[in-house]
Structure 1
Amino acid sequence: MKSLEYQDDLDLEARGYRREMPRQFSTFSLVALSFSLTCTWSGTGSSIGISLQEASAAGTIWSLPVAALMTAILSAGVAELASAYPVAGAQYYWAFCLSSKEWRAFASYMNGWLSILGWWLASGAACNFIASLILSIVVLWYPDYEIQNWQQWLVYAGIVWLAVALNTWGSQLLPLYNRFNFIVACATLTTTTITLFVCSRNNHAAPKWTFGDATNGTGWKSEGFAFLLAISNAVYAFLGTDCGAHICEEIHDPTRNTPKVILYPVLMGLVTAFPFAAACMNAITDIDAVLNSPSGVPLIEIYYQSTGSKAASSVLLALFAFCFFGCTVGNGTTCSRTIWAVSRDDMLPFSRVWATVNTQFQIPLNALCLTGTVVSLYGLIFLGSSTAFSAMVGAAIIFLQTSCALPQAILLWRGRHILPERPFSLGRFGFAINLVSVLWVVLLDILCFFPVEMPVTKENMNYVSVVSMGLTFTVFVLYFFSKKGKYLGPRMPNEDPSQATYQVDEGQEVNTDAQVYSEEDMAKKK
């Protein structure tokens, strides 16, 4: 094992970095982390009200296989790039390596920010929903209680910093925690699904409605378009498949194992989410009560309609919230590694601060605290509105999916021959997979901008476009006014670690001793 770890460290150094994090994750523990982070069945439950409104029961159920298929195609392209360039910067690093010399700094800078913003937004959405789950249990027992925005934010902030604390003081136990959370999630999912089916066996929705009703409740005239909106909503349940790529420096033999960590959770997500969604739809007896739940959380109303018991509904929802909390912990782990990785190359403001690894906990603690702070402040803006939750979800989808598709678009433009040898290769299917991935994300980005209800009012307006374009414009301004000409990007990888050469551009190579910056470039960095 030590010789393998030594070789992994040599490979990392050949790509321009020295190992600073312990390789403490096994393939299983990292798959468990990825499963907990994508939490497909939990994500389905969290956004079930939106999909019911868009395309009813059948739309909620059948949008999942479509979303899973397209996510699998996109993730296959990501897995190949992770096998070729196993560096924690992931999309940011890939964009640099694949771009031409004149564009590589800008491409990596933008893609790095897309990834970070996506993780921040996804973390905010998850924490917001967990806070809603907790307060919905209170509403179930005390119907006269009205949830106040400040109360929800306090619960939200508590969840954010509890995840930060677990990532910090439990840093060395994270592999064990993720395995434990994986087992609890599987047990909770199985128990909940069986409970819903059994309790509603004498009073359940008609199978024709469950699997065949796709009533369009959006106000859009086209039912097909409403189903497309339901598919875009279902994609939220599959977000985060790239998490393994950001933690690849903490696993052995990352060129071979990282693709497994990326692809396995997609299949596992579909296998778990489909029966859960079917059980939820089968349990519904009053769709209007679900869509107009007093707590604003349709899932607890579904549980209550099935079991008829406040106690049973509370227990099931508490277990659901516990499993979903694993997603928040995984978000903190992944986002802190992403920020740390890009800061090693001076991409962010005050990069030296975020690039520091705490020697006691052996984690990028400053980057983790930055994530907790930003997500907490972000919650002040968006809490207290279902429209705001939709904006969080939609913007997270846009940023994370686009960051995965952009390197594949560059690869299509420049030709797949520029990829180095890698254990996981898409072979002759590579071009088609990359092309479908890019086209799918373009369609997805467009769909996320559309309002989910017609006619559009101030209350139901889709603010995803405002959030996405505003943040993207901010990143553009940040680059051109503070980083252009100063930010040089990461080092280019050495395809043969035994040789001290780095590919510079268009197949040209220069001899170097793990140094690709000229003295003039280094002066600019300083």
Structure 2
Amino acid sequence: MHQFEDDRELEARGYKREMPRQFSVFSLVALSFSLTCTWSGTGSSMGISIKEASAAGTLWSIPVAALMTFILSAGVAELASAYPVAGAQYYWAFFLASDNYRAFASYMNGWLSILGWWLASAAACNFIASLILSIAYLWYPEYQSQNWHEWLVYLGIVWLAVALNTFGSQLLPLFNRFNFILAFSTLTATTITLFVCSRNNHAPAEWTFADTTNETGWPSNGFAFMLAVSNAVYAFLGTDCGAHLCEEIRNPAQNAPKIILYPILIGLITAFPFACACMNAITDVDAVLNTPSGLPLIEIYYQSTQSKSASSVLLATFAICFFGCSVANGTTCSRTLWAVSRDNMLPFSKIWSKIDPTFQIPLNALLLSGTVISLYGLIFLGSSTAFSAMVGAAVIFLQTSCALPQAILLWRGRDNVLPERPFSLGRFGPVVNFLAVAWVIFLDVISCIPTELPVTKENMNYISVVSIGLTSIVLLIYVFSKKGKYLGPRMPSEEIGLDGDAIAGKEGQEFGEYETTDCDKDPASFNKE
């Protein structure tokens, strides 16, 4: 499909192209792979999964998480093919929901996506800061890291990612391709190094592949394994980024599903061997779980190589690859904010919806994301437990934002609301959507359960408190600022008809002037013509 045809389709949906279509399929798959960063995400949370379900639980939780994420993302890919607009979840919720609820469903799902991306970005930047300080601790054991030390490093990472997204905006496709190749090279080299260096002193195969003993205090190893699976989901988080960047690629209806699904398969293929190498290298589990640096991965590297230099090099390259995740997070956050602001969803939307003419990016939205993520980091100064709960809520918000449109789809009937699309789940659609919704409900519940017994104020799981608190703030913004004013995504009246109230509201001028027509009120009708 030629670019002008993509632009015409976008205009038919109510928007003019403002971003250059500079990404190829490979460069966006590379960006999505850098963002999900599955093998790095697995390494970052390895200590938690070992404690929850030992080595075997750590390994086998990865394919389970990959399978369920693939099912959820398959439904997302179908919606991205049906509605290739950068707003993604908030846009889908609007056009799938009934007239009475579409504006509210769109508003809430948009905020779930935004909050999820902000929290996920904070998690990535914080872990990179921990990696850097862990290398310092390895060489200087007397060094006592303070929370404010980590926050300063965290701050530098956040704004370096913002700077690269700004001044290197036109080089982002090249940067992501480079990071993709670097990540594969680093992963291969690290996996081989761990296997070779530990060939004469490694963990028993029975422990590596069969032991699921948990140290959480929960009496059931099966339940502890499910905790490990919920932990492994973090390594596959962010598969919807391809939907948010679909306006920057040609033929998005056909290519966006590839960008959403391919990184999950690549992530599984890369993360599982890496996890096997790490588990095989462990000779002292207690030292891994109680490392003074607070980072189990560096202890695993050191137990394998018995060299501070080798461990530092492996961890430094790991951190560089993980930094690519922070850059990709910044890219996706800015596009998500910009897309929803085009329709007046956020306070001061006119500011965040502007495209900078020099850098050709939503610079204001990017700066807002950097500022909010920086402020998130301040929570770490007061309590690392509270900060962990903030970033843990990222799983709930992002996964729920992907499942909610699929729940609406099931409720209203797929054939009644879905338009024609290049990527279709066909007869498997209802099953995929049902499994995705059921999985996310289960995941939301289990993510809020304490991971250790007995529960203390230090190990208490505050994710439910954070999730309810942030959702309440969003609801208050809606009630006092956006109710009756936020009308949802726009659509030219000659292409699609909405009910009169949705079009002729007081704030209608903010979206342009629409006139109602006699065409079908179902938003899918335009797409089926």
Alignment deviations for residues 126-167 of structure 1 (CA, whole Å, 9 cap, x no partner): 000000000000000000101011111000000000000000
Q: Equivalents in 1 of 2:314, 2:383: separation in Å?
A: 24
The correspondence for 2:246, drawn from 245, 248, 252, is: 248
TM-score by length of 1: 0.95
Alignment deviations for residues 233-281 of structure 1 (CA, whole Å, 9 cap, x no partner): 0000000100000000000000000000000000000000000000000
Q: Equivalents in 2 of 1:382, 1:471: separation in Å?
A: 17
Alignment of 1:286-297 (within 5 A): 286-297=284-295
Alignment correspondent of 2:522: none
Alignment correspondent of 1:504: 498
Alignment correspondent of 1:513: none
Contact 1:63 1:227 in 2 (8 A): yes
Alignment correspondent of 2:449: 450
Contact 1:88 1:247 in 2 (8 A): yes
Q: CA deviation at 1:384?
A: 7.6
3-state SS in 1 of match to 2:503: coil
Contact 2:447 2:463 in 1 (8 A): yes
Q: Equivalents in 2 of 1:97, 1:307: separation in Å?
A: 55
Alignment correspondent of 1:379: 377
Contact 1:88 1:248 in 2 (8 A): yes
Q: CA deviation at 1:386?
A: 5.5
Alignment correspondent of 2:74: 76
Q: Equivalents in 2 of 1:427, 1:91: separation in Å?
A: 21
Contact 1:122 1:392 in 2 (8 A): no
Alignment correspondent of 1:42: 40
Q: 1:493 to 1:35 in 2, by over 3 A?
A: farther
Contact 2:485 2:506 in 1 (8 A): no
Contact 1:97 1:493 in 2 (8 A): no
3-state SS in 1 of match to 2:435: helix
Contact 2:43 2:275 in 1 (8 A): yes
For 2:496, give the aligned amino acid: Y
Q: 1:523 to 1:22 in 2, by over 3 A?
A: closer
1:487 aligns to 2:486 (yes or no):
yes
Contact 1:127 1:159 in 2 (8 A): yes
1:167 aligns to 2:161 (yes or no):
no
3-state SS in 2 of match to 1:437: helix
Q: Equivalents in 2 of 1:383, 1:325: separation in Å?
A: 22
- Gap regions ≥5 residues in structure 1: 495-499, 511-515
Q: Equivalents in 1 of 2:214, 2:414: separation in Å?
A: 42
1:517 aligns to 2:511 (yes or no):
no
The correspondence for 2:176, drawn from 175, 178, 191, is: 178
Q: CA deviation at 1:222?
A: 1.0
Contact 1:243 1:334 in 2 (8 A): yes
Alignment deviations for residues 380-439 of structure 1 (CA, whole Å, 9 cap, x no partner): 103586634542442000000000000000000000011000000000000000000000
Q: CA deviation at 1:221?
A: 1.0
Contact 2:484 2:505 in 1 (8 A): no
For 2:331, give the aligned amino acid: T
Alignment of 1:120-135 (within 5 A): 120-135=118-133
Alignment deviations for residues 348-390 of structure 1 (CA, whole Å, 9 cap, x no partner): 0000000000000000000000000000010010358663454
Q: How many residues align?
A: 511
Alignment correspondent of 1:18: 16
3-state SS in 1 of match to 2:496: strand
Q: CA deviation at 1:493?
A: 8.2
Alignment correspondent of 2:111: 113
Q: Equivalents in 2 of 1:343, 1:88: separation in Å?
A: 11
Q: CA deviation at 1:523?
A: 5.1
Contact 1:160 1:328 in 2 (8 A): yes
Contact 1:85 1:493 in 2 (8 A): no
Alignment deviations for residues 216-235 of structure 1 (CA, whole Å, 9 cap, x no partner): 11111111110000000000
Q: Equivalents in 2 of 1:493, 1:315: separation in Å?
A: 56
Percent identity, aligned pairs only, is 76
Q: CA deviation at 1:491?
A: 2.0
Contact 2:377 2:387 in 1 (8 A): no
3-state SS in 1 of match to 2:177: helix
Q: Equivalents in 1 of 2:89, 2:491: separation in Å?
A: 14
3-state SS in 2 of match to 1:342: helix
Contact 2:130 2:295 in 1 (8 A): yes
1:439 aligns to 2:441 (yes or no):
no
Q: CA deviation at 1:504?
A: 3.0
Q: CA deviation at 1:520?
A: 4.6
Q: CA deviation at 1:5?
A: 0.4
Alignment of 1:163-312 (within 5 A): 163-312=161-310
Alignment correspondent of 1:420: 419
Q: CA deviation at 1:66?
A: 0.3
Q: Equivalents in 2 of 1:134, 1:372: separation in Å?
A: 20
TM-score by length of 2: 0.94
Q: CA deviation at 1:517?
A: 2.9
Q: CA deviation at 1:295?
A: 1.0
